[in-house]
Chain A
Amino acid sequence: MVWTGLTALLSHWRRRPVQLAMLLLGLSLATALWSAVQAINGEARASYDRAAAILGQDRLAQLVREDGARMDQQVFVRLRRAGWLVSPVIEGEMRFGDVRLRVLGIDPLTLPPQAQQVNVAVGDELLPFITAPGVLYAAPETATRLTEQATPPVRVAEGLPPGTVLTDIGQAQVLLGAKDKISRLLLWPDQPIGRAPLKVTAPGLTLRQPSETGDLARLTDSFHLNLTAFGFLAFAVGLFIVHSAIGLAFEQRRQVFRTLRALGLPARVLVLLLIAELLIFALLAGLVGVALGYVVASALLPDVAATLRGLYGADVPGTLSIRPAVWAAGLAIAVIGTLVAAAQSLWRLWHLPLLAAAQPRAWARASERALRAQGVAAMVLLLTAAGIAQFGSGLEAGFALLAALLLGAALALPLVLTGILQLGGRLVRGPLAEWFWADTRQQLPGLSLALMALLLALAANVGVSTMVSSFRLTFTGWLDQRLAAELYVTARTEAEATAIHDWLAQRSDAVLPIWSVEGRVAGQPAAIYGVADHATYRDNWPILSAVPEVWDRIAAGDGALINEQLARRQELGLGDQITLPGGWRASIVGVYSDYGNPIGQVIIGIDTLVQHYPDVSRLRYAIRIAPGKAEALAAGLRAQFGLPAQNVIDQAGIKVFSLKVFERTFRVTAALNVLTLGVAGLAMFASLMTLSGMRLPQLAPVWAMGLTRRHLAWLELSRGLLLAALTMLAAVPVGIALAFVLLAVVNVEAFGWRLPMHLFPGDWARLAALALLAAGLAAAAPAWRLARLSPSDLLKVFAHER
């Protein structure tokens, strides 16, 4: 019985391969986009974890200076001699040729076993490791990048995060120019008894507990949340396809269900059989989806990796590894998605009266009540969105706001469209036009899911493109202000820097130091820059708010400028005091915009910088010169000091580079957007395709009354286009609201900066064209089928036996 039942149920799909294909396609696409995002996030997170786990920082407590500055190596010896089992680490950024890397120096003899993920300096590698020129251990990818550069010998070590080299602490001190300095101390988990108190032995050090997530994971959180949100959106849009395919399949099999029930198959067994059938499909489509997801992910990953490097300095490999977790999650989400999409149909089936008359169009004819309920839900969601916007805070609230806004708008769409179509029907004259509008309205319930999907995709597109374009506009303007100097030069040694400075003194209008130290400000990583008192800054710096005579205050050494993200995150304002590395305090005299920088930044006078941080590295300068002479000066500079090309960069070069990073940052979002739009188009196609089968009874009378099939087909096509156009119209305000939330809430929370919104109607027109094209394509096939339908198929509608 059960077997017979299953065969009877499955035979449906054999007769309707297109429907089956739609179901599987929708499900696999939804799973694919979701999995792609998961795979990308997984890869990135794994590499943050690797970075966070390196040297066991995820499991070992550490001793650090409160202000993040380096400490004297003697602290290490003093602690050891006081009984503390600690191991010194020095770290810093440095450049080998044009490759910038994080250098980690360790002492292999005292390194805790928990910190030895990477087997370095084993056996006879120890002597070369600890004696000059030392050995650099690097991940294969990083090692490859270094092959062209002049470095100490490089050895490959799997398991190191990309962009990081591991070397002996002594060699690292030499490379980083930090003789006898260390950055932090790793604490062995088991300490001997009878140690001297920490406060006495190493005053000024604080204990930092092991942290599962490094700074990187925290900084990039918002970026990944962003991707996840888009993955979820794409998945939700895909589910619309699944929902309508399943709904139709259930409706069309009502007769079969009834027969099976009448033959004695219990409702419970029937439902279980259908669930089994759905699970088979879900798993099948899930597998295909995850595989497809990997394809999408590996296409997107290089851009994501570039973004993360450019924006956060996070190194993520450009290649994917296959993660079981992604497969499991992909299959799970496919199954869950299918069951959610099928829940309504299953519930109806459970309550199917055994002998009720067939209502072929029942599922499509949403009752007034359902529409009203949907309207109420939409209202509630939109009000919730307004409430969150008013009172919520935090990134999660930002995304909750987005979700409520989008879902509310989607639910409101059928209601809005009904209204518009009603109005349209009243405004037009002529029997065909009236019928067209009335009939379009009649079609709405069957298409509303697909249209909601389309709305989501379009609104997301409008929103994101508005956000990106606004950002781009602001960013380019900001770059012009920020990059006022004509040339930027980086010396390789301090001596060379001095020589360059002297050489330039006669040949340029101004040579402005760009010196900085790194440390922690208000508990967060930050960079402190010193600036000279010069018109370059007075005239150009992108100040958001400042006290009067701000540059005088900076030059006088009694004030500090901070960037917007630091101000927002720490809720700092003009006049507030901040404690800077080394423990001295400064008052905030201004806040400036600093886009694209994940960490806090403080600007003080150059003299103040040198006074508080005498060993600041003095290698970089900005050069002011008449723009026409810049190129010649750059060439002269390179020739005079034999500087590599990338050590002398002109303004345009940096701008090009910055904009490139910017564009790559949003390429992923754009790609996901286009894919989502594609899925929505497919949802529309699926719905129109399934509806077209049920359309005949409604079309045949009109045909009989004197319309050609061709004419009807055109009308059907126009109907699809009209609905798409109306949905696009509805999507614009939703998208603008979305952009507003992204710019004013999510960006502020995620990156720490707020951007003005600019509207780009040209983009909308392009998108509308794209949407119409998608809808046109989706509607073309059913319309084409109608135009080519044989009369006898239409005549069947009139057959008495129907």
Chain B
Amino acid sequence: MLLRLHQIDKFYPTGEGPLHVLNGIDLSLEAGKSLALTGESGSGKSTLLHLVAGLDSPDAGEIHLGGTNIVGLNDTALAALRRATVGLVFQQFNLIPSLDVAANLAFQARLAGRPDPAWLKVLAKRLGLAQVLTRYPEQLSAGQQQRVAIGRTLAARPRLVLADEPTGNLDEATGDAVLDLMLSLVAETGAALLMVTHSNRLANRLNARVHLHAGRLV
């Protein structure tokens, strides 16, 4: 089992007392499989994803990733985990504005110490970015930007790809094309995929789906 969550609790402090966002979440995902995480806005999907990515830590429970419990790891270990094991795709793309497309694509792979120019070339070609490698993010369309983000993530060959409504900012046609690309590429790399979406149509294209409601999985 690549990923196993056990009794995850997460609270946010708010003006009206602590907000219990996640309440005893149990979840697991095998390597190479894909899982859709649905739920209405504000149900805690992103929160869950961030916990898995080691960007934030739960208030209770365990997260086993590749056999290690990442809860309680220090900053450096979490950073190493993010670098080498997981890849993130955000709705907002979050490219590095000061680097051009080629550098953005290569960035995480190089950071993870797994640069692979041949694979990068393939990715760029498959993602239709070969012509825009020297451009800067702000000179790209939204769809192109998201394809760069996907390429950047997959270039590092992470074992787990975490995507947070990756097509949420794209129109439906572009979104579908980008998703197709992502799904096939993820499949090719053999990575597992945990994708947040609120679209049933998209969720159905994955191996399995879970629904988050009132802090619990249903």
Contacts and interface: CB of A to CB of B under 8 A. Distances in A.
Chain A directly contacts chain B within the complex, with at least one CB pair under 8 Å = yes
Interface of A: 430-432, 434-435, 438-439, 441-442, 697-698, 700-711, 791-792, 794-795, 797-800, 802
A706 B112 contact: yes
Interface stretch (B31-39, B82-90, B172-180, B200-208): B82-90
Q: How large is the interface on B (under 10, 10 to 19, 20 to 34, 35 or more residues)?
A: 35 or more
A205 to B, nearest CB: 79
B53 interface: yes
A607 B168 CA distance: 103
Contacts of A697: 94
A708 B168 CA distance: 28
B79 A707 contact: yes
14 contacts: A430-B110, A434-B99, A702-B96, A704-B55, A705-B88, A705-B107, A706-B80, A706-B82, A710-B75, A791-B50, A792-B56, A795-B46, A798-B92, A798-B94
A431 B41 CA distance: 36
B98 A435 contact: yes
Contact of A800 (B12, B53, B76, B91): B91
A435 B99 contact: yes
A711 B83 CA distance: 14
Give me the 9 closest cross-chain CB pairs, A-B, nearest first. A706-B83, A442-B98, A431-B110, A701-B94, A706-B82, A438-B98, A439-B98, A708-B75, A791-B56
Contacts, number: 91
B108 interface: yes
A794 B111 CA distance: 20
A493 B54 CA distance: 95
A539 B189 CA distance: 91
B107 A435 contact: yes
Nearest to A705: B108
Given A431-B107, A441-B98, A706-B112, 12 more contacts: A438-B98, A701-B94, A704-B88, A705-B88, A705-B107, A705-B108, A705-B111, A709-B75, A792-B56, A798-B46, A798-B50, A800-B168
B95 interface: yes
B106 interface: yes
Contacts of B78: 708
B92 A802 contact: yes
B152 to A, nearest CB: 8
Given A698-B96, A701-B94, A701-B96, A798 B82 contact: no
Task: Name which of A434, A710, A794 has the most chain B CB atoms within 10 A of its CB.
Answer: A434
B94 A700 contact: yes
Interface in B72-128: 75-76, 78-84, 88, 90-92, 94-99, 103, 106-108, 110-112
Contacts of B62: none
B164 interface: yes
B9 interface: no
Given A711-B79, A800-B168, A701 B95 contact: yes
Nearest to A801: B41
Contacts of A435: 96, 98-99, 103, 107
Interface string B133-171: 000000000000000000000000000000011001000
Contacts of B164: 798, 800
A442 B12 contact: no
Nearest to B93: A701
A469 B91 CA distance: 61
A431 B80 CA distance: 15
Contacts of A442: 97-98
A441 B96 CA distance: 13
Nearest to A707: B79
Given A798-B164, A800-B91, A800-B165, A706 B98 contact: no
A791 B10 CA distance: 14
Given A706-B80, A706-B112, A792-B56, A798 B90 contact: yes
B109 to A, nearest CB: 8
Contacts of A797: 92, 94
B65 to A, nearest CB: 14
A799 B98 contact: no
